[in-house]
Structure 1
């Protein structure tokens, strides 16, 4: 069968606006989920560094749970399972404010926090132990040592893996389509349903994802040059 390509069909009528709305939703979902992931992941990494056996065991369980269960299962669990455990007032609030977006953001953010926690913990391990010992010798407490000595260097070291996690997070936002979030992939599917131009619709969506990835990688490269680890070349 000879297939006649027609990309112009994708850019007619309201279809470009659908793509733009989907892109904005994807960026909003990725941005909010990344903030949640970074905050939770950083907190968990610091708690693990306290050396508490109980805290280490609980966080290790948290990390294993979120890293070994598929992202889609987490999203479905948060959307279909968690609301059933909440008070009716909380469920009503979620339904009134876009439960699909909010719960998918939480699900993606918490899963990615497990990866960020481990990336930061590995970065901390790369810092010479003598620096922590010197900070303690100067009378700095644990929290101040973390804030002033350890974490600033750890964040620099962790830029490459955090960049990879950011790329993964952006791609994982497409899974939110499963619970009705009108993100970029969902917009492509809607356009395909109306135009019957499957290849063209998903080719355009693919190109947009590639552009996002290149922009993230470019921004990451700038961060790596600007905030290279102390003593790096």
Structure 2
């Protein structure tokens, strides 16, 4: 299966799980074996855990796989991208050999568990994260789970951590810190309050407020 651009990763923004996907064969050499009769290998990540009132963590494995496939099939944008790169052929026209979830996940009514819980950061956990330099002279750590100026587990944090790890051995390397503007800090704190109140995020609430105020202004203008 061809992809629209080299090393192309996609975010399915209209999916409830906010799915992201990447075809692994794009990053490997042509001689790499993906498995018997397998020509393409997709990795799909679910970035949002709640859909239609049901948490991803409370799904059975079958429900989870069915929901991911359903969301991919509902994405007309994904279909169009694949068709453009494959002479009008949809990704659904290719046969799917196997679908599986991360091998460590164990599904249960109490939620998903793992023998090795993900060691990652979330908002306000920076003080608990390790630095790149360790007490062992020839050992450094890199990854989004280490301390960075990007206060969120992300590609940006991973890239910065890699540079900081190199800086341990090459002190002359310049690492530009990522700016956290005051307005973003304020919006983040508002977002935290909305989250604890089980309300939509700050962008959705802001948009709703703008719509309500606009409608009210129009209504009062007509009444006046």
* TM-score normalised according to structure 2 size: 0.26
Higher helix share: 1
* TM-score normalised according to structure 1 size: 0.25
Query: Relative contact order (alpha carbons < 8 A, sep ≥ 6): 1 or 2 greater?
Result: 1
Higher strand share: 2
